[in-house]
Amino acid sequence: MPANLIEALSADDQAAARWAWAYFEHNWPSATGLVNGIAGIAWSTLWDQGSALLGMHAGYQLGLVSGDPFHTWLHRLLQTLETLPLPATALPNKAYSTASGQMRTLNNRPDRQGRSGWSALDMARYLLSLSILKAHYPDYADRIDGIVARYDLQKLVCDGWLWGSGAGSTGLQYWQEGRLGYEQYAAHSLRRWGIEAENALSNPPVHRVMVDGVALWVDQRDRPNSGASNYLTNDPYLLWGLELGWPDSELNQVNSLLQVQANRYEKTGLLTAVNEDALDRLPYFLYYSVYADGQPWAAVNSRGQNYGRLRFLSTKAAFAWAALYPASAYAQRLRQSVQMLGLGGRGYLAGQYEAADLGPNRALSVNTNAIILESLLYKAQGNRPLAHPEG
């Protein structure tokens, strides 16, 4: 049993941890051990399950759940993963039912043949989470290795790049997946399973842009020239810091990301913490970015359509920045601004819309609540990334 690390946190942080944990208490289907990606909906992507695994780990380490229910959950989850239906590709489908473990489409329809394909980014987050569980709970290592042995991980990389797939009119279509930030976080995660994506790690095509007086690296592969947006947003960098720790080569980019958001606040009076996040209204998911497809402060959906009125301050980004930058006055201001966005007994809301008349973004997701718990665990264990067990 780990130490009760929650006692190392402030009163506000302890309250936040308990509010975030409430999401898991209400969205943990006992039949499978899989956690709902969105509150009350028995559906999840592999990215969501990566978050869920680390949220459950953080809850246990913080002392929010005791040993017996935690290990009962982990045993049941591993049973589900050991028998999870796989498509002919021998890689997990993009989405699953959390109630039955059956394959689903991204819009939550049955996908009995697994024709949705796989996401290399989602797989990387899920595999990183399994490797962290394996490091912290070695009694389960053989079972986790057996689960991963079912997957044809070599399909995740082609010519040194991350490789994903999706449904096409004549069967699965394949493509390079990932843009700057996401690509490197995923490639470092896959390395923990012996999968090398050297071009993704070392040779991303980038150029410099200026946003609100700050120079930033941005991926050259944008929607006009590649068909996919080059979102420069907080999520991959914050997860990278909390879970793996940043290499020195990334510190300038990360510092610049925080600075440009602080600069926007000074310029506009709008507290700024961009992210990919679920929404409580159409289009239900946006990538709010410092820069995307040639535009600063773009809030776009997966098709590249801009929803500028729905820009929001992200709760999970606020918690993560505060944990990773305890000496930053701006990061701490972000953290204080979201303290009361907990929905009594249900979890934390996704954020606050910048347009004052829209109020809170009332979406409840596993990603928001898991990353809050990750951030608080990182802080409670002395700013140690989650992948590094004590000692």
> What are the CA-CA distances from residue 100 to residues 46, 49, 137, 150, 205 (Å)?
15, 15, 26, 19, 41
In a domain, 389, yes or no: no
Least confident of 19-23, 29-33, 181-185: 29-33
Distance CA 279, CA 24 (A): 19
- pLDDT tens digits for 103-154? 999 999 999 999 999 999 999 999 999 999 999 999 999 999 999 999 999 9
The reported pLDDT for the residue numbered 372 is: 98
- CATH number of the domain encompassing residue 299: 1.50.10.140
Q: Which residues of 113-128 are buried (b: 16+ CB within 10 A; e: fewer)?
A: ebbbbbbbbbbbbbbb
The reported pLDDT for the residue numbered 390 is: 76
User: Which two three-digit tokens encode residue 284?
Assistant: 């239900």
What is this structure's pTM?
A: 0.97
The reported pLDDT for the residue numbered 80 is: 98
Answer for the pair 343, 332: CB distance below 8 angstroms, yes or no: no
CB atoms within 10 A of CB 265: 18
Mean pLDDT of the chain: 97
Q: How many domains does the chain have?
A: 1
In a domain, 387, yes or no: no
In a domain, 390, yes or no: no
In a domain, 385, yes or no: no
- pLDDT tens digits for 65-111? 999 999 999 999 999 999 999 999 999 999 999 999 999 999 999 99
The reported pLDDT for the residue numbered 264 is: 98
- pLDDT tens digits for 179-232? 999 999 999 999 999 999 999 999 999 999 999 999 999 999 999 999 999 999
Residue the block writes with tokens 């590709």: 89
In a domain, 299, yes or no: yes
Give 27's DSSP letter: S
Which domain range does residue 114 map to?
A: 5-380
